[in-house]
Amino acid sequence: MAKTQKRHIGDIGEEIVCRYLRNRGYSIVERNYWKPWGEIDIIARNGSTVSFIEVKSVSRELSGRGLSRGTVRPEENMHPGKVKRLHRTIQTYLGDSYASEGIEWRLDLACVYLDFKTLQAKVEMLENISI
């Protein structure tokens, strides 16, 4: 089955975020951890902290000052229901992977702005989010 354009853009955004994280000293533990009740795009570790990262990408044309008119900012797609599903999935992952450890963790949001005309991308990390 062919990937949708939205899935293709999401895959590009996730790859960019993985490179971004590695350049900042993170190690990528897992990608696309999936359970029937939710998916975690990227699980990364930096020191003793495990970051569960939701990636939201937009591919509209960028102007010098940000998004073009009418474009939804990636963080606007992070609603309370999504956060609730992510927390449930995170708890499952922690129970499966770190059952005997007290682990420090957080939920981060990576906003990726893609400009296919100039072949540039911008990543904004919002750490330890909650809604």
What are the sequence ranges of the domains in the chain? 5-126
**pLDDT tens digits in sequence order for the chain, 131 residues long:** 567 888 888 999 999 999 999 999 999 999 999 999 999 999 999 998 999 999 999 886 544 445 454 556 777 777 888 889 999 999 999 988 876 577 899 999 999 999 988 889 999 999 998 76
What is d(CA 106, CA 83) in angstroms, rounded to the nearest whole number?
A: 12
Residue with tokens 């606007």: 76
- Contact predicate 113/122, CB 8 Å: yes
**Class for domain 5-126, per CATH?**
alpha beta
User: What is the pLDDT at residue 100?
Assistant: 59
